Amino acid sequence: MRPPGYDCRLGPHLQARLAVWLEEGPAAHGWADDQVWTASRVRTLIGRKFHISYSVSGVTRLLHRMGYSVQMPARPAAERDEEAVAAWREVTWQEVKAAGRQPGRGSASRTKRA
C-alpha cells in the first residue's frame, strides 16, 4: 500500500536532470550574484526547465527526498573579528537585552489580575 498524498510531479529521470543542473551551480542558470541555491531559486529553475509549478515548501521536501540538505558554512567568514564579537557580547548585548519578567506576585487566572 502506498503512502497517502500526491505523487511527485518530477519522476526519477527528471530528478536526475535537476540534480545535474544543481551541480552546475546557480551562475550557470542566471544567478551570478552568489553561488547559493535557495528553495526559491530551485523553484524558478524547475518552472523554467520543466514548466511545472512547485511551492517553496514543496521544493524543500523534493530536495530532501533527493538527498539534499540545508547547508551551513564549513568555517566562519574570514572577515569575522572574534575580539569585536566578544566585546559586543560583553558590553552592548548586556545593555540592550530584555531584562525579563520582574519578580513579584502573579496570578494564575487569565482574566483577573492579582
Average pLDDT over the chain, rounded to whole?
A: 84
Q: At what angle do helices 12-24 and 39-50 cross, to 10 degrees?
A: 120
* Residues 9 and 59 sit within 8 Å (Cβ to Cβ): no
Closest by Cα among 51, 49, 47 to 20? 49
pLDDT top residue among 107 and 54: 54
pLDDT top residue among 16 and 88: 16
Q: What is the pLDDT of residue 99?
A: 67
Distance between CA atoms of residues 50 and 28, nearest Å? 17
What percentage of residues in the chain have a pLDDT greater than 90? 45
Q: What is the mean pLDDT of residues 61-77?
A: 80
Q: Is the pLDDT of residue 113 over 90?
A: no
The answer, as to whether pTM is greater than 0.85, is no
Q: Is the pLDDT of residue 82 over 90?
A: no
